[in-house]
Structures are given as structure tokens and as C-alpha cells.
Amino acid sequence: MNAEGSKPIRIGLLGRGTVGAAFADLLAERGEAVAAATGRQAEVSGVLTRTEGDFDSILAGSDLIVELMGGTEPAREYVRAALQAGKPVVTANKQLLAQHGDELFAVAREAGVQLRFEAAVAAVIPIVRTIQEGFGVTEISKVFGIVNGTTNFILSEMAASGASYDDVLARAQELGYAEADPTDDVNGADAAAKMAILARLAFHTPVTLSEVAYEGIEGIQPDDLAYAKELGLSLKLLGVAERRDGGISVRVFPCFLYPGHPLAPIQGPFNAVMVEAPAITEVTMSGPGAGGLQTASAVLGDVVSILAGDAPVHETRVELPIVKDVGSSFYLHLEVDDRPGVLARVAAVLGDQEISVKSVVQRGTGEEARLVMVIHECLESRFSAAVDALGRLDDLRSAPRSIRVIQEEY
Ligand SMILES: NC(=O)c1ccc[n+]([C@@H]2O[C@H](COP(=O)([O-])OP(=O)(O)OC[C@H]3O[C@@H](n4cnc5c(N)ncnc54)[C@H](OP(=O)(O)O)[C@@H]3O)[C@@H](O)[C@H]2O)c1
């Protein structure tokens, strides 16, 4: 830190949109509390937008940089330059860290300055500092949760109203819970970026966005939710990072949860994250996963931690392989012809892949006939081979539909 004595800490603010403007207001409003907590006043000394400010002079005139521009370039270049100049950086930019975390954390380590990013995952939920500080030496086995509020809102509304995905998406856009271009939220890419960051933190290993397998919610049909409701299941887009078979698996997928699961009651645009480890059993935290003020609050928390001299620079310590083929349970929905022997032919295909069925119901007759089943845990590669083979049966009126199921009892 270049500032000394009682001079105010000068904050260079890159981006003054939804979060940046809220941060500037919050810093002004909570100025006395910041000074009381850190012994230093803090003020915004320069602002960069597309039409205002010059990065080099903002950097020269600041002690700490807050990056709230979004995107990977020029954010990467600016964050790197700030760290190399010995200035700590706070960012809310998940794409930047999920794609260029290795490079930027290495620069921070070399320069001996902090790069903090609480707001990049689940906004105001303090999951980053909980893992880094509270569980810093705990052998975490799994970190998982609902890390995208847009999709949780859409799935909650579809389950409550029975409306179609397209109708509920349009409503989410009207209410401001979904962007005009919702692609990265609904296809799972946004959640994947957050899971790359959480996996790196939890397992002390480099994980980049390209290593996270993700699926979205675009294909979810109202009748999937209707059947699930009958069975008491709730549908969530989950991000899961876990130790598996000597490596780690990091994935995002829609998933049915049994009642009693701590994530099952999380409704609307809220996020929730669970951490599991033998030494802690499980911890669940939930709260708003977005919003200008809420995100700015997490950013300000990071600024205060830096000014107070808390916490070491995050570091990567071990190499763990990404395990791609893991075991999962599935819900399987087959629209079948209403004729004798169909169930036996379906069972034979599943049997060929050594897949066993936990429960099956036959619904409707004639044009409406369908088989809805829950499959016991099996390797995903076997399930996918079975689904391909089922798709080739003459008995099916449309392609099979499947959704993962978490059957653990809580
Ligand atoms: N919004 C949320 O609820 C939320 C939640 C969690 C994390 N985040 C993260 O917070 C960050 C900011 O999000 P936001 O919603 O505040 O974005 P935003 O409203 O779009 O604001 C972005 C700001 O950055 C500026 N900017 C963008 N590209 C720039 C460039 N190339 N050069 C200079 N200035 C540039 C924009 O300038 P102009 O004003 O000139 O356009 C604007 O002031 C993102 O990384 C986002 O992922 C947001």
C-alpha cells in the first residue's frame, strides 16, 4: 500500500454500472464505519467507464483498484497492471477469474499483493472467505449449490405455475431477474465460471472454465416438473465440485432433489452454497446471488479486509486430475407407443448397461403413453450409452429425456 499515515486510501474504480455505482454510494454512506474498522478513511479517487477517465492516470493516483467492468479484456490487462504496480485489487468478475485466474493469482503472489473476489461467486454470500479462512486447512470433500439466481427463479416459477420455460423466461426478463440476452445464465456457463472458482478454492488446485462440464435448463419441460412435484422432488440447476476417484469432478447440471435436502427449499433468485468435509459435516449458506447493492456490499467487505491487513494471498498448491466419468442417479422420461412388450424392451436396453431401476410409473394411454423412471446410481457413460440405444428403439415417439437426481438422505 502506498498511502501512509492518516491520508485517505485512494480507490481507483474501474466501471460505474449497476455494481460500481452502488459501491461508490455505499463507500460514501459507510465511510465512518470503514474508518472505524480499518483506521483509514477511503475515497474514490478516479473512475473509469467507456466514456470517462484514463486507466494509467487512475492507477497512478490510487492505492487500491476495484474492478467492476466485467468481461475479460481489458479487465485482465488492467488487473494485471495494478497488481504488478503493487496495488491490491478487488473484483467481482467471475469470467476473468475462471478464465485467467492462474495468471492473475501468480502475478498477485509475485507482487505480494492481494487479489480479492468475494462478489464473483454468489454475490453477498461470504463463501469465498468462508472457504479461504474458516476452512483454510480443512480437507473439503464437496462444495456445491445453486449459484445462478436467474435459473433458480425460472425453475421455481415453472414448478409453481406449470408455465412453459419460454413464458417464465419472458417474465424473468420483465422483472429484471434475467438479462435481455440470458444465454450464459440459462445454458449453465455463468454457474460453470463460479464453480471453477469455488473448485480452485476448495481443492487448492488450478481449475479453469474449460474444464467444467455444464448443461443448462433450456430443455426442461413443464411435465418433467409436474411428475417431480407428484414425487415431492424439486428441480435446481446445481453446480457441484467434489473429490472423486483420486481427482475432482466439477460440473453444472439440472438436478432433482429429494425433500429434506437443504437446497430444496431455496426459491426464486436466491443462491445457496453447501460445503461438506468430514471435519465440518456440512454447512449451508444462502442469500441473494446478485443485485447492485448486495454485490457492492461484498466488494466493500473485501476492501475493508485489505485495509485491515487480513488474509493471505490465495495460492494454488496441488495438481488434481479432472475425473470426467462419475456415478449419478437419473430420472428418465420416455414417450412410448402403447403396445405390449415396450417395458420389457426398455428394461433390456438398461440391463445391457447394467443399469437398475429404482422406480417406474406408466402414465397415460395411446398417444399420451409414457414411462417415467428413476435409475439407481450408475456411471454417466453407461447411462448415456443406454439413452442412445433407447433413442434407436421403434417404441419411442420422441427422444428420451433425462435429468440427474440426488438421492442422499439428509
Ligand atoms: N449486477 C450484478 O448483480 C452482479 C452480481 C455479481 C457480480 N457482478 C459482476 O460485477 C461486474 C460489474 O457488473 P455490472 O452489472 O455493474 O455491469 P454494468 O452495469 O454493465 O457496468 C459495467 C461498467 O463498466 C464499464 N465498462 C465496461 N467495459 C468497459 C471498458 N472496456 N472500458 C471502460 N469501462 C468499461 C461500463 O462503462 P459505461 O458506463 O460507459 O458503459 C460500466 O460503467 C461484472 O464482472 C459482473 O459479472 C454483477
Q: Is the pLDDT score of 406 beyond 60?
A: yes
Q: Is the pLDDT score of 313 beyond 80?
A: no
pLDDT in tens, 249-267: 999 999 999 988 999 999 9
Residue 329 CB–ligand 1 contact under 6 Å:
no
Residue whose CA lies nearest to ligand 1 atom number 26: 69
Residue 68 CB–ligand 1 contact under 6 Å:
yes
Percent of the chain with pLDDT over 70: 97
Residue 119 CB–ligand 1 contact under 6 Å:
yes
Residue 299 CB–ligand 1 contact under 6 Å:
no
Confidence band, pLDDT 50/70/90 cuts, at residue 4: very low
| 158-183 residues labelled b (16+ CB within 10 A) or e (exposed) | bbeeebebeebbebbeeeebbeeebe
Q: Which of 19, 58, 209, 302 to mutate to test the pocket of ligand 1 (most atoms within 8 A of CB)?
A: 19
> How confident is the prediction for the chain on average, in pLDDT?
93
pLDDT in tens, 117-139: 999 999 999 999 999 989 988 99
Confidence band, pLDDT 50/70/90 cuts, at residue 314: low
Q: How far apart are CA 403 and CA 253, in angstroms?
A: 8
Which of 103-107, 227-231, 295-299, 332-336 is predicted least confidently?
A: 227-231
β partners of residue 359? 374
Mean pLDDT of 50-75: 97
pLDDT in tens, 5-32: 578 999 999 999 999 999 999 999 999 9
Does residue 194 carry a catalytic annotation? Answer: yes
Q: How far apart are CA 127 and CA 137, in angstroms?
A: 15
Q: Which of 14, 49, 197 to mutate to test the pocket of ligand 1 (most atoms within 8 A of CB)?
A: 49
Closest C-alpha among 69, 1, 89 to residue 313:
89
Strands (DSSP E) contained in 49-151 are 64-67, 89-91, 115-116, 142-146
What is the reported pTM? 0.93
**H-helix segments, 145-188:** 149-161, 165-174, 183-186
